[in-house]
Amino acid sequence: MVSVRGKQIIKRFGETSVLRGVDLDIGDGKFAVLVGPSGCGKSTLLRILAGLERVTSGSIHFGEREVTNLEPRERDIAMVFQSYAL
């Protein structure tokens, strides 16, 4: 697995700020867990990393490759939901 880095990730839905300057640095081969209350942005961040949502601003890198503006199919990443209903 390659490293995953996010720099100053901001996501807004209209006037509502969901993610406010999130920095993320997961080293190559490392395991990470996102924990927080409902509505804090965990799923939104994962959707952004997978390319299912676009960032309002900020950047995302997989290894040395910037993927911020790539389509999901171009990112070579998978996302599995805990519940099939999501």
Predicted confidence (pLDDT) at residue 84 exceeds the cutoff of 90 = no
- Helix or strand run (H / E) with residue 72: helix 72-75
Kindly report the pTM of this predicted structure: 0.89
More confident residue, 69 or 78: 69
**pLDDT tens-digit readout, 3-37:** 999 999 999 999 999 999 999 999 999 999 999 99
Q: What are the domain boundaries of the chain?
A: 4-75
Q: How far apart are CA 17 and CA 15, in angstroms?
A: 6
Considering the segment(s) 4-75 as one domain, its CATH architecture is 3-Layer(aba) Sandwich (3.40)
**pLDDT tens-digit readout, 37-72:** 999 999 999 999 999 999 999 999 999 999 999 999
